[in-house]
Structure 1
Amino acid sequence: MTTPTDALDRVLHLATLVQADLARFEREEGLSTSRVHLLWVLGASGPSTQQSLATALDVTPRNVTGLVDGLVGSGHVTREPHPGDRRATLVTLTDLGTRTVDGLATSHADLADRLFGDVPAERLATFGEVLDETTQRFAQLMEEA
């Protein structure tokens, strides 16, 4: 029988494994998790203003400026004039940025398949429901704290 403490211990172990994998990725790719998240959002949304990126990432505009500066420096994105607002700029993926996002998507899908591809659909659905409930409950506990 699994107790609530056993379940939490397993979640914490999983979190440790995920963090170790992210750290490995950061070392290999030279990109922080925050920069990867910004690239992922750009890959999904297309060229975006820094303000819209700040909203999507739930960070301050100043934080986005630093992330974009780093990604411009590494050649993953460019800043281009906004066609409809001369005060704004658009952050746009470069060819390197697009290749990076494509590689991330492929890697993401591969890991999902390796982790869950052979899990029966009914069990995977139940797992997803429990994860959703746990995430919502944890978020609520954090807000209350």
Structure 2
Amino acid sequence: MDARAVLDKAFELADHVSTLMSTALEERGLTPGRAEALLMLHRHGPLVQRQLATYLRCSPRHVTALVDTMEQHGWAERQRHPADRRATMVELTPQGRQHTEWMETHRDRAAQALLGEVDPTQLAAFVEVADRLIRTTGHDDSTSVDPTRT
């Protein structure tokens, strides 16, 4: 198999996984951006909005709008920073935690359904190739959310 065919298959897989993820998220009233923000708060705990913007690789202005929306849905809330009165902390509400728990459970179920019967050696080879593609394209960012995780 030539490199172009593999790259075409990678694009096909990315599109397929993206569609599956978007469909599952839409059922919960989430977008990929909102889901990623919720997961960052779930994994890192309360964050200053600027930290959240860094993790999400977007502008602080965009995070302000994103947090506004998450507050309107009852998924997150702003709190005063305990040590810096100029900073605002963002943290999950109980409803936001329910959404992140659902996403984590859905991710685990999807991984098992899609990959549970694949030989571990093949999975390791897939991850090795995927990591190489990510490094080569300059998108190696350990804070990003893998689309199969949501």
Correspondences of 1:48-127 after superposition (within 5 Å): 48-127=47-126
User: What is the CA–CA distance in structure 1 between the aligned matches of 2:3 and 2:72, rounded to whole Å?
Assistant: 46
2:35 corresponds to 1:36? yes
SS of 2:117 mapped into structure 1: coil
> 1:99-129 CA distances to partner (integer Å, 9 max, x unpaired)?
0001101111111122222222222111110
SS of 1:67's equivalent in the other structure is helix
TM-score of the superposed pair, with normalisation by structure 1: 0.90
2 CA distance for matches of 1:107 and 1:131? 22
Runs ≥4 residues deviating over 2 A: none
Q: What is the distance in 2 between the residues matched to 1:136 and 1:34? A: 22
TM-score (norm 2): 0.87
Q: Which has the higher helix share?
A: 1
Separation in 2, partners of 1:89, 1:75: 17
Moved more, 4-13 or 123-132: 4-13
Which segments of 5 or more consecutive residues in structure 1 lack a partner in the other structure? Answer: 141-145
The CA RMSD measured in Å over matched residues stands at: 1.4
Paired-residue identity, %: 35
The whole-number CA distance in structure 1 between the counterparts of 2:111 and 2:85 is 42
Provide the C-alpha distance between the structure 2 equivalents of 1:116 and 1:84, rounded to a whole number of angstroms: 46
Equivalent AA in structure 2 for residue 131 of structure 1:
A
Shift of 1:96: 0.4
User: For residues 16 and 46 of structure 1, what CA distance do their matches in structure 2 show?
Assistant: 30
Rg: which structure is higher? Answer: 1
Structure 2 residues not aligned, in runs of 5+: 140-150
Partner of 2:138: 139
Is the deviation greater in 16-25 or in 90-99? Answer: 16-25
Counterpart residue type for residue 77 of structure 2: T
Cα deviation for residue 12 of structure 1 reads 1.7
Give the aligned partner of residue 146 of structure 2. none
Q: Give the 3-state SS of the residue equivalent to 1:125 in structure 2.
A: helix
Report the equivalent of 1:4. 3
Q: Partners in 2 of 1:75 and 1:123 — Cα distance? A: 42
Structure 1 residue 35, shift from structure 2 partner: 0.8
